[in-house]
Amino acid sequence: MAVATIPYTVANIVSSPTPSQAMVAITHTSLALALLLLHCRTSQQQQISPVDLTALQQIKNELTDIPGTDFLATWDFTSPDPCTTFAGITCSAVIPRRVDSLILGTGLSDSPGLAGSLSSSLSTLTELTQLVLFPGLVTGPIPSQLGALKNLRVISLTNNRLTGPIPTAITLLPNLHTLDLSYNHLTGCVPPNLYELTQLKVLILASNLLSGELPSELPSQLLHLDVKNNGIWGRLPKKLPLSLRYLSASGNELWGPLNGLQSLSELVFLDLSMNHLRVESLFLNNNRLIGSVPVEYVDSVRKGSTKTLYLQHNYISGFPILPLPDSVSVCLSYNCMVPAVRLTAACPASAGQQLSRPIYQCSVFNNGSTSIG
């Protein structure tokens, strides 16, 4: 039987690699695969802006986890994609990805937070819209370079140990909606040109060491103003924003008349206690005030300069029985107290003769409205 043979030609010799040629081919293939993997890894790493990545490194260098906190442990700069692996940051979708939100800390009750200081490198995160520092032990000044972050809408650096003045550069942020610097050790005055923050709705500077007077003009769209427990002195601004719904300035050194309050038709919370204000006449009648009048307030009326207090036609459910001097006139008619408090002798004729509101009205409004306390 004939055996088939394969012709042994030059073509066969050329197409069949020698052992050394095969080794070279394998080496080239391995190198190509390695370069491809490196390219993929580098491409992923470069999804975040190099400028922002450098800023994050510098921010981390100036902060530390307080024992019991592991927030910064996730900031591993060998990570292929910091935008998805770093705690507290979010990034834009467009490559190179920019950091648009930075939340430092977890805010959990069992987390003691961060220590260190705030880096001036924050200013290079130019797409940032939100900067939040949860409670901890961060010290030092607020970087004035934050004024470069024109997209910022929220700055919240509450409950740390920040010192120094409030940077006036903050008034250069055209989109700022919320500024909360409460419970720190900030000193100096409230920046006088805050009114330039035309988008500011919430301003919380409570429990610092601020002094001086409040600015004569405040942002016109302001809804929430809290400056309690500072050393602010002088008078309240004559022109308070008509949009104000919350005003707390207790525990300061304010004095003088309360000009401008009568025009705050949207106000639902007011606390001016523990100041040096002299109020001879206070008219809070014909509103929707609920709850009990605090004992501390009635005591301040009893010892102070108030001569007339009108609370009629509200939904008040309690009034402390304290001996008031004959010089003080209090009207409480048409409220929700049971039994009705008979402080009606000083009421104007417009208050009417009825001591109490109908029960059905009281049950409706005392389930949700504005509390005096």
pLDDT per position as a tens digit, 50-107: 999 999 999 999 999 999 999 999 999 999 899 999 999 999 999 999 999 999 999 9
Residues 130 and 91 in one domain: yes
Domain membership of residue 53 (yes or no) is yes
Residues 340 and 358 in one domain: yes
Neighbouring CB atoms inside 10 A of 342's CB total: 10
Write out pLDDT tens, residues 309-331. Answer: 899 999 999 988 888 888 888 89
Residues 306 and 262 in one domain: no
Instruction: Tell me how far apart the alpha carbons of residues 47 and 254 are, in angstroms, rounded to a whole number.
Output: 53
Strands 329-331, 289-292: parallel, antiparallel or unpaired by DSSP? unpaired
The residue ranking higher by pLDDT, 40 or 353, is 353
User: Is pLDDT of 109 > 80?
Assistant: yes
User: Is pLDDT of 19 > 80?
Assistant: no
Residues 200 and 297 in one domain: no
C-alpha count within 13 angstroms, C-beta hemisphere, residue 161: 10
Find, among 102, 222, 123, the residue nearest to 172 by Cα: 123
| 13: confidence class by pLDDT, cuts 50, 70, 90 | very low
Residue 373 pLDDT? 46
8 A C-beta contact, residue 99 and residue 119: no
Residues 174 and 319 in one domain: no
| E strands, 80-191, in order | 89-91, 99-104, 114-117, 130-133, 137-140, 154-156, 161-164, 178-180, 185-188
Instruction: Tell me how far apart the alpha carbons of residues 263 and 28 are, in angstroms, rounded to a whole number.
Output: 81
Residues 115 and 171 in one domain: yes
Structure tokens at 147: 């004024």
The residue range of the domain holding 325 is 279-373
Structure tokens at 320: 């402390």
Residues 305 and 255 in one domain: no
Asked which of 246, 278, 310 is the last residue of a domain, the reply is 278
**How many domains does the structure of the chain reveal?**
2
Residue 16 pLDDT? 52
Instruction: Tell me how far apart the alpha carbons of residues 159 and 167 are, in angstroms, rounded to a whole number.
Output: 18
Eight-class DSSP state of 3: P
- What is the amino acid identity at position 174? P
Asked which of 278, 306, 337 is the last residue of a domain, the reply is 278
Domain membership of residue 37 (yes or no) is no
User: Is pLDDT of 3 > 70?
Assistant: no
User: Is pLDDT of 363 > 50?
Assistant: yes
Residues 233 and 299 in one domain: no
Structure-token match 């525990």, residue found: 251
What are residue 139's phi and psi, to 5 degrees?
Answer: -115, 180
Residues 215 and 271 in one domain: yes
Residues 122 and 110 in one domain: yes
Residue 156 pLDDT? 99
Domain membership of residue 294 (yes or no) is yes
Computed over every residue of the chain, the mean pLDDT equals 86
Instruction: Tell me how far apart the alpha carbons of residues 128 and 102 are, in angstroms, rounded to a whole number.
Output: 7
User: Is pLDDT of 225 > 50?
Assistant: yes
Domain membership of residue 329 (yes or no) is yes
| 345: confidence class by pLDDT, cuts 50, 70, 90 | low
| 39: confidence class by pLDDT, cuts 50, 70, 90 | very low
Domain membership of residue 33 (yes or no) is no
Domain membership of residue 30 (yes or no) is no
Residues 273 and 298 in one domain: no
8 A C-beta contact, residue 284 and residue 311: yes
Residues 191 and 303 in one domain: no
Mean pLDDT of 109-126: 96
| 134: confidence class by pLDDT, cuts 50, 70, 90 | very high
Mean pLDDT of 297-310: 81
Domain membership of residue 112 (yes or no) is yes
CATH number at residue 159: 3.80.10.10
Domain membership of residue 34 (yes or no) is no
Whole-prediction pTM: 0.76
Asked which of 278, 294, 329 is the last residue of a domain, the reply is 278
| 303: confidence class by pLDDT, cuts 50, 70, 90 | confident
Q: Of 37-51, 71-85, 110-124, 168-182, which range is least confident?
A: 37-51
